[in-house]
């Protein structure tokens, strides 16, 4: 049902609030650019009709917004010259009637407010009213605008929007029952195969998709930086490349578990899930350091290397298990989507839980085994892979 002047939207409250805060309430936004606004207004409805056939895309809007009526005032230069005025001078006087002029300013706390003087709306309500505007010639005589101009009422004038100073029409829409990435990819495929865009016109994706791509790129940098900083910290802490490489391999293994958990639960990789992945890097590394601290303590007490690898896991099994199980149980309500607003954090919880599930076998089984095998195969390189931190005195 279409009601003139009435727009109907259906969206979840939290999603709509976040969209309003980011100034982009719709996840789908196709910005169509060109030099001629009239051409853009012709292309936009065709684009909206094309993407309306994409599964999952709903509430598609062409972006052509009717702003209201306008007056088209055509001045006859010959008649204006007879009255002693130019078309530009007539335009300025008519603009003062319609838009008013700033007579003074009033101070309002921390800012000044313009005081605009114009004719009452009742005097300029119809084209006939405008034709009766009294213009003043340079010699002082007055005459009606109708003597030198024609006034036409233009109904249904659309808004003119610009982005980066270029005329733009934004086709928007929402997504239902489908993830954002696959929907946008199919829309892009439909638009690339169509011949809707003429020479000089092109489109760009905006909306939540553009914000997501920017956030994804930033989070990837954060994830890479997290691995790099953790590796440098491990080198500083243990002063051996073997231990640092073995420990940093555990979060990498947990990353695979995170992707598997998201795939099993049907959750798409989004910003919340990537935040969970970044947290898994720190959590798994902390547990690995927890294990190696016990291993080094046993080595200092004179326990053989092979026995210390086994005893460290046995000694740290209970605290590691308690920490892991407690964290999983605490995140389980979010992972199950219980409570209002939990859906937004569900990918975060699932990503962390997936990493925690494989954390114990990785740290207590795979990591000690890899460390023992690597140390046994390369005993002659142990001195090379260790950093000499002793302070050497200069030769006398």
Do 245 and 306 fall into the same domain? yes
Do 253 and 346 fall into the same domain? yes
Q: d(Cα 286, Cα 351) in Å, to the nearest integer?
A: 17
Do 80 and 119 fall into the same domain? yes
- What pLDDT, on the 0 to 100 scale, is given for residue 160? 77
- To which residue do tokens 């090379």 refer? 384
Do 279 and 326 fall into the same domain? yes
Tokens of 25: 């309430």
Do 36 and 55 fall into the same domain? yes
Q: d(Cα 158, Cα 64) in Å, to the nearest integer?
A: 6
Tokens of 331: 């995140």
Q: What is the CATH number of the domain that holds 49?
A: 3.30.70.1320
- To which residue do tokens 């709509």 refer? 16
Do 182 and 318 fall into the same domain? no
Q: Give the list of residues 6+ apart from residue 46 with CB closer than 8 angstroms, or none.
A: 196
- What pLDDT, on the 0 to 100 scale, is given for residue 252? 86
pLDDT tens per residue across span 222-245 = 888 888 888 888 888 877 788 888
Q: Between β-strands 28-33 and 161-163, what pairing exists: parallel, antiparallel or unpaired?
A: unpaired
Tokens of 50: 């094309």
- The verdict on residue 261 lying in a domain is yes
- What pLDDT, on the 0 to 100 scale, is given for residue 247? 86
Q: What is the CATH number of the domain that holds 150?
A: 3.30.2090.10
Question: Residues 27, 180: contact at Cβ < 8 Å?
Answer: yes
Q: d(Cα 294, Cα 296) in Å, to the nearest integer?
A: 6
Question: Any idea what the Cα angle at residue 91 is, between residues 86 and 97, rounded to 5°?
Answer: 135
Domain count, the chain: 3
Q: d(Cα 63, Cα 60) in Å, to the nearest integer?
A: 9
- What pLDDT, on the 0 to 100 scale, is given for residue 140? 85
- The verdict on residue 97 lying in a domain is no
Q: Give the list of residues 6+ apart from residue 142 with CB closer than 8 angstroms, or none.
A: 134, 135, 136
Ranges of the chain with pLDDT below 50: 22-23, 379-396
Tokens of 40: 């853009």
Q: d(Cα 234, Cα 241) in Å, to the nearest integer?
A: 8
Q: d(Cα 321, Cα 287) in Å, to the nearest integer?
A: 10
- The verdict on residue 396 lying in a domain is no
- What pLDDT, on the 0 to 100 scale, is given for residue 383? 42
- The verdict on residue 98 lying in a domain is no
Do 21 and 123 fall into the same domain? no
- 142 strand-pairing partners: 136
The domain boundary, picked from 137, 170, 205, lies at: 205
End-to-end CA distance of the chain: 96
Burial of 292 (0-12, 13-18, 19+ CB in 10 A): buried
- What pLDDT, on the 0 to 100 scale, is given for residue 2? 59
- The verdict on residue 95 lying in a domain is no
- The verdict on residue 91 lying in a domain is no
Do 125 and 177 fall into the same domain? no
Do 135 and 252 fall into the same domain? no
Tokens of 89: 């001078």
Reduced to 3 DSSP states, what percent helix, strand and coil does the chain have, rounded to the nearest 5?
60, 20, 25
Q: What is the CATH number of the domain that holds 229?
A: 1.20.1640.10
Torsion angle of C-alpha atoms 305, 311, 312, 318, degrees rounded to 10: 170
Q: What residue numbers bound the domain in which 266 lies?
A: 211-380
Do 121 and 251 fall into the same domain? no
Do 139 and 49 fall into the same domain? no
- The verdict on residue 359 lying in a domain is yes
pLDDT tens per residue across span 73-97 = 888 889 888 888 888 888 888 888 8
- The verdict on residue 390 lying in a domain is no
Do 301 and 374 fall into the same domain? yes
Q: d(Cα 162, Cα 164) in Å, to the nearest integer?
A: 6
Question: Residues 241, 278: contact at Cβ < 8 Å?
Answer: no
For residue 269, which phi and psi values (nearest 5 degrees)?
A: -75, 110
Question: Residues 292, 250: contact at Cβ < 8 Å?
Answer: no
The domain boundary, picked from 174, 190, 205, lies at: 205
- DSSP notation for 233-275: HHHHHH-BHHHHHHHHHHHHHHHHHHHHHHHHHT----HHHHH
Question: Residues 179, 266: contact at Cβ < 8 Å?
Answer: no
Torsion angle of C-alpha atoms 171, 172, 176, 182, degrees rounded to 10: 60
């Amino acid at each position: 049902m279409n009601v003139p002047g009435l727009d109907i939207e259906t969206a979840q409250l939290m999603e709509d609030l976040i969209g309003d805060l980011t100034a982009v309430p719709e996840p789908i936004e196709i910005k169509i650019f060109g030099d001629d606004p009239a051409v853009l207004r012709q292309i936009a409805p065709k684009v909206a009709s094309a993407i309306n056939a994409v599964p999952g895309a709903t509430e598609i809007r062409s972006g052509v917004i009717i702003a209201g009526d306008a007056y088209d005032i055509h001045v006859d230069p010959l008649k204006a010259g007879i009255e002693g005025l130019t078309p530009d001078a007539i335009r300025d006087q008519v603009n003062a009637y319609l838009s008013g002029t700033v007579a003074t300013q009033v101070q309002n706390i921390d800012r000044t407010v313009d005081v605009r003087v114009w004719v009452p709306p009742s005097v300029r309500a119809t084209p006939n009213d405008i034709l009766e505007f009294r213009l003043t010639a340079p010699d002082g005589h007055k005459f009606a605008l109708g003597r030198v101009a024609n006034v036409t009422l233009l109904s249904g004038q659309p808004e003119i929007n610009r982005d980066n100073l270029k005329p733009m029409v934004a086709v928007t829409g929402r997504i239902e029952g489908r993830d954002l990435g696959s929907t946008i990819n199919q829309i892009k495929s439909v638009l690339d195969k169509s011949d809707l865009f003429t020479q000089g016109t092109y489109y760009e994706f905006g909306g939540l998709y553009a914000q997501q791509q920017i956030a994804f790129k930033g989070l990837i940098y954060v994830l890479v930086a997290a691995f790099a900083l953790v590796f440098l910290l491990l080198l500083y802490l243990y002063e051996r490349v073997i231990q640092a490489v073995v420990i940093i391999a555990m979060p990498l293994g947990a990353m695979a578990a995170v992707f598997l958990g998201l795939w099993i639960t049907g959750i798409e990789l989004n910003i919340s899930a990537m935040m969970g992945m970044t947290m898994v890097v720190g959590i798994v590394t902390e547990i690995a350091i927890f294990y190696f601290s016990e291993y080094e303590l046993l080595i200092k007490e004179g326990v053989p290397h092979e026995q210390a690898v086994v005893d460290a896991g046995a000694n740290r099994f209970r605290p590691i298990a308690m920490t892991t199980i407690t964290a999983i149980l605490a995140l389980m309500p979010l992972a199950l989507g219980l409570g209002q607003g939990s859906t937004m954090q569900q990918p975060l919880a699932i990503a962390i839980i997936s990493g925690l599930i494989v954390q114990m076998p990785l740290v207590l089984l795979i990591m000690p085994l890899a460390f023992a095998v690597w140390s046994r195969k390369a005993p002659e390189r142990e001195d090379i892979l260790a950093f000499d931190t002793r302070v050497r005195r200069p030769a006398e």
